[in-house]
A and B are shown apart, each in its own frame.
Chain A
Amino acid sequence: MQSLELKHRLATRWTHWVNFPVLSLMIMSGLWIYWAYDPYRIGFGDITLIHMFPDWFYKMSGIGKKLSFGMAIHFVFGWLFAVNGFVYAIYTLVSGEWRELLPDAKCFGQALEVVKHDLGLGPLPPQGRYNAAQRITYTAIVFMGFGSMVTGVAIYKPIQLAGLTSLMGGYQWVRFFHFWLTMGYVAFFGIHIGQVIRAGWPNFRGMICGYDLPKGENNAH
């Protein structure tokens, strides 16, 4: 038997599902830390389109201001976030799966076609395990994770790692990058969930159990 199609290996699935709650805790505790000093906004010049974050957001989310607890959670779960990320990166490098993930030159043109397809405007270009848009996005997310770790330790120990901190523009700039990387995850998460819902159960099941029916076999039940 064993004619099922392998979608994702165990290491990929586990690091993915470990990352989900760990990153959620990092984002929640990061919000508690950010609230103590929240200078960022989207705007230009004197015009602020949106303050990060508006009062209504603080009120409606209702998770309160807990700087000290936020820091404690962040500096405990930061270990898990980093270790899990390294496990995934090392596995992907050693197994050779990075070849299916890392975008090649064609991907950037094809990614546009994927977006057009998703908007109902054209056919899906041929793809391997991941389509061109996924290859670009998932690779970016891995590098962003690394960026979060590096900016994170630079904010955590800005004097012991003064070289690293100043390389990235100094303490306040590093905090700025760390914050916007996190906003990047939030944006990714929204699109990712939407795409997962669109792709349907067999795709989701592939991320849970690792397999799908062989290509061409009827999936509709």
Chain B
Amino acid sequence: MLTNEQELARRTRRAFIGLGAGAVAGFAGLGWLSAGPIEEGNIPPNFRKILGFNEKVVRSALYSQDHLAPTFPASAIRKLKPNGEEGLEDELVAADWRLEIQPYKAGAVTQKLTLDDIKTLPRHDETIEFKCVEGWSTVTQFAGALLSDFTAKFCPGSEKAACIGMNTPDGVYYVSIDMPSALHPQTLLAWEMNSEPLTEEHGAPLRLVIPVKYGIKNIKRIGRIEYTDSHPKDYWEERGYDWYAGL
């Protein structure tokens, strides 16, 4: 028969062994999470897997084309800070700029559009809170054509693709976006910001405005759009950020 003190000592010993086992399991879990080849500046692959799981949960349980980004009155508009110059280094010659489209269908021919071609689409105007992945946000007005209208007119049927890839004319900056977000009723190819033509630092002549994504997906100076089932490369995904980046 143990005395109270012996019994307490026994229980304490057992509890420390249990906690120790828990700590070992915890560190093993961290080891699993951090394992695998990590590219420079990227996150471990198992973190990426869990972010992919989060994406599945969000896309099946939360995301809806009917969920709109809140819109704001003109009085709430503030000056949007230009952030990120990747892909804007070359001098822009507006007259020479063309938007290249690679439609979804196999063997479809590449098209080249001028800004005037795109401006024939219905104009859509929205004042939304633009959200940077860094954490700041700015209420900003944009006008342009809905990417869904654009797709329907210039490459009908391409909506069936899983993804859209876009890149700057020099190929330095590139994003890829899931099709539901691309066809969201607030996703624009924009040529106007805060009632002025888009400036170069904000992506003239044409940029993506996709309020359901962080700013990193809102590519400036689009040179090429591709509709595909593959997963086009994504600049910030390669640098450790969540690919989905959905809001």
Q: What residues of chain A have their CB less than 8 Å away from a CB belonging to chain B?
A: 1-4, 13-14, 17-18, 21, 33-34, 36-37, 39, 67-69, 71-73, 75-76, 79, 157-162, 166, 170-172, 175, 205, 208-214, 217
Q: Are B16 and A208 in contact (CB under 8 A)?
A: yes
Closest CB-CB distance, B39 to chain A, in whole Å?
12
Classify the secondary structure of A's interface with B.
Answer: helix
In the assembled complex, B7 has its CB within 8 A of some CB on chain A? yes
Task: Mark the stretch among B131-139, B150-158, B218-226 that contacts chain A.
Answer: B131-139
| Contact partners of A166 in chain B: CB under 8 A | 70
Q: Give bound CA distance, A139 to B95, whole Å.
A: 65
- Whose C-beta in chain B lies nearest to the C-beta of A76? B50
Q: What residues of chain B have their CB less than 8 Å away from a CB belonging to chain A?
A: 1-2, 4-5, 7-8, 11-12, 14-16, 19, 22, 26, 33, 43, 47-48, 50-51, 54, 58, 62-64, 67-70, 129, 131-137, 211-212, 236, 239-242, 246-247
| Contact partners of B48 in chain A: CB under 8 A | 72
Q: Are B4 and A4 in contact (CB under 8 A)?
A: yes
- Whose C-beta in chain A lies nearest to the C-beta of B70? A162
Contact of A159 with B68 at beta-carbon distance under 8 Å, contacts A68-B241, A76-B47, A212-B8 already known = yes
Closest CB-CB distance, B218 to chain A, in whole Å?
14
Q: Are B134 and A160 in contact (CB under 8 A)?
A: no
Q: Give bound CA distance, A175 to B131, whole Å.
A: 12
| Contact partners of B240 in chain A: CB under 8 A | 68-69, 72
- Whose C-beta in chain B lies nearest to the C-beta of A18? B22
Q: Are A159 and B136 in contact (CB under 8 A)?
A: no
Chain B CB count within 10 A is highest, among A68, A171, A210, for A68
A171 CB contact (under 8 Å) in B137, B212, B241: B137
Q: Are A209 and B15 in contact (CB under 8 A)?
A: yes
Identify 16 residue pairs between A and B in the complex whose beta-carbon atoms are under 8 Å apart, listed by A's number. A1-B1, A1-B2, A4-B11, A13-B15, A68-B239, A71-B133, A73-B47, A76-B47, A157-B58, A158-B131, A159-B247, A161-B62, A162-B67, A172-B137, A208-B16, A209-B15
